Chains A and B, each alone.
Chain A
Amino acid sequence: MKRFIVLLPLLAVVVLVQLLSTWTGTQFYLTQMTMAAYYSLLIIGLCVLMGYAGQISLGHAGFFAIGGYLSAALTTHNLVAFKGVAVVRLLEGCALLQAGKDLYGGELLVVTPWAAAILAVLVAAAVAVVIGIPVLKLKGHYLAMATLGFGIIIYRLALASAWLGEADGISGVPPFVLLPGLVVRGDSAGRVQNYYIAWGVLLVGLFLLLNLIGSRVGRALRSIHGSEEAADAMGVNCARFKLQTFVLSAVFAAIAGVLLTHFNGGIGPSEAGVMKSVRYVAIVAVGGMAHLWGALIMGVLLNFLSLRGVFGTYDDAVFGFILIVIMLFAPNGILSLLASRKKRKANPQKIAANQER
């Protein structure tokens, strides 16, 4: 219950932002806030992996793309031609397909968004397990390069597969009916509703992760970050915890990918690009690595500014610059600068004593 109360101020801010935008007639800001919320969902998942378990991943855009691309491909590719095939008949029997009409009035038969979404997230989780088992044995440079390599492979596959739209990506992704009356779609009529859907999903995700890091698992992860050998000696199953966190963060990324793809109505290969993965890492670093709230605030803020086009053609350069400056001057994040100043004020003697030692 106590952990639930912590979220109430955030909920109040979310509602306040919506009301403010309605009163001032600037509801168009809500579109970017919705997208920023989905990216932040990925970022808080990555934050647990990087900050708490101490494992860098330069390939998380890959998991985002697996989620987005699979749900986009399944819900747009017409299966009418394959009606006779056993698999398609089986899917139809399980009510996993929905019929419709395309733009020209032709018959359309596609996988329902729910089925596609669940499959996409499951595939992302399965890929995370298969990749994670060998990758998480690596450390430092090797881990960074291996995850970077994974991200590039996903990007290349998306770019080279005709089924995934090659360089054009996939467009015309249908709306996602979560519940009757609750639809993920990008038109202006559904703007307020989608804002609340995105932030609702983000809040639930944050709640789960806050619970996780406050629990026994969270303490185990921090001990792994401190020293794997010591954690091992204390009976923590390092490999299992690292893998579970990796899969969890991949699932968060895939869910974000699925929902954002339905919201945008499409996905392109740039979503799988290396720069996206680096950007997520940059935001986690700015937020302070092991700081879920920092990651959330920075994730929403920086993504919102970037999506509004504030940085212009210097978009990527801004993130590179942030990355370097933060890592050079404040490796524990921006918020840590404030915290350390407060601490220094509180008991200057103790700090001085520590420094002398």
Chain B
Amino acid sequence: MTTELFVQYLFAGITYGSIYAIVAIGFNIIYNTTGIINFAQGEFVMLGGMIAISLLPLLPLPLAIAAAVGLTMIIGALIEMIFIRWLKSPSVLRMIIITIGISILTREAAVHIWGENIRALPYFVGNEISTIGILGARISPQVLWVVGVCGVMVAILHLFFQTSSVGREMRACAANRMAAILCGINPRNMVTLSFVLSAGMGALAGCVMSPITYSQYDMGTGLAIKGFTVAILGGLGNSGGAVVAGLLLGAIEAFSVSVVPLAFKDAISIAILLVILFVRPHGIFGSGEAARLKAF
């Protein structure tokens, strides 16, 4: 493999990897505050892209994206308030089935609104054929947009959780719900906020990736399972791990294309998920003892 080809594959991997990392962080935010895995996580990415595409004739691109992210956040909040907020200590099996149901309903609503067509946002800068040369490889500027936006999102999220008082309250709920209530924090609002946050992140990722990977009503399931793979790989609840694991999975997928047929690409990343679940369910960075204390 030549250097150019290597860099080319590497950037393809980083592009997809950053998307997976964002979806995984979305899983983590909700998991940390509620202890549930939101199977509808991939649907937020789909909604973000689709809504932005629909708003594009009415608004300039940046405003359309901002509106799409805002709308998806509202949808995220509504989903939490309608389906999850009022349940009293539901079992894990029940939550799994409910979030799967939400994901199906969202997808079906999408197919009735937007149809089965594959759509895409226009490239933010240049067009399909404009490229930038990096180490001899030709990279689309949109790739840099994806990587940049995802990187900034992770950084802002980190600052939010570490320094802002709302972020600290959310972390307090994740650490000890009862103690957080005693400190005057309303954990239900924090759960709603976690849905809003992960919906917004997913939607923004869905917008920046749309020009390269396109948007379609049924893209959510595949993204959700890969995002989950990344979340497990990095250790469930560990967002730093998710970034590393996302880039890793993206790279593995990108390089696997040079060895096995493209049709098996998804099968490979799911096989990785199965292997990780069997061998190291607490992830490559997590500790086994901490994982045993969590309620699965």
Contact = CB atoms under 8 A, between A and B. Distances in A.
Interface of A: 54, 56, 58, 134-135, 137-142, 144-146, 148-150, 152-153, 156-157, 159-160, 274-275, 278, 281-282, 285, 313-314, 316-317, 319-321, 323-324, 327-328, 331
Nearest to B103: A320
Interface string B265-285: 011001101100110010000
B58 to A, nearest CB: 27
Interface of B: 36-37, 39, 83, 87, 90-94, 96-98, 100-105, 107-109, 112, 221, 225, 228, 232, 261, 263-264, 266-267, 270-271, 273-274, 277-278, 281, 295-296
Contact of B102 (A54, A159, A281, A324): A324
Given A140-B92, A140-B93, A316 B98 contact: no
A142 B108 CA distance: 25
12 contacts: A135-B278, A138-B281, A139-B296, A140-B295, A141-B37, A145-B225, A146-B277, A148-B225, A152-B266, A156-B264, A275-B104, A316-B108
Per DSSP, chain A at the interface is helix
Contacts of B278: 134-135, 137
A144 B96 contact: yes
Given A134-B278, A278-B100, A327-B97, A152 B92 contact: no
B6 to A, nearest CB: 26
A321 B90 CA distance: 18
B224 to A, nearest CB: 9
Contacts, number: 118
Nearest to A160: B263
B275 to A, nearest CB: 9
Among B83, B94, B97, B261, residue most surrounded by chain A Cβ atoms (within 10 Å)? B97
Given A56-B93, A56-B96, A323 B273 contact: no
Contacts of B108: 314, 316-317, 320
A150 B225 CA distance: 11
A313 B107 CA distance: 13
Contacts of B112: 313-314, 317
B105 A317 contact: yes
A274 B261 CA distance: 22
Given A150-B274, A321-B101, A142 B281 contact: yes
Contacts of B96: 56, 140-141, 144
B1 to A, nearest CB: 24
Contacts of B83: 324, 328
B105 A320 contact: yes
A327 B94 contact: yes
Given A141-B37, A145-B225, A150-B274, A285 B267 contact: no
A328 B98 contact: yes
B16 to A, nearest CB: 17
A323 B100 contact: yes
B105 A156 contact: no
A327 B98 contact: yes
B267 A156 contact: yes
Nearest to A149: B270
Contact of B97 (A145, A148, A323): A323
Contacts of A54: 93
Contacts of A328: 83, 87, 98
B221 A274 contact: yes
A278 B98 CA distance: 11
B228 A278 contact: no
A85 B182 CA distance: 76
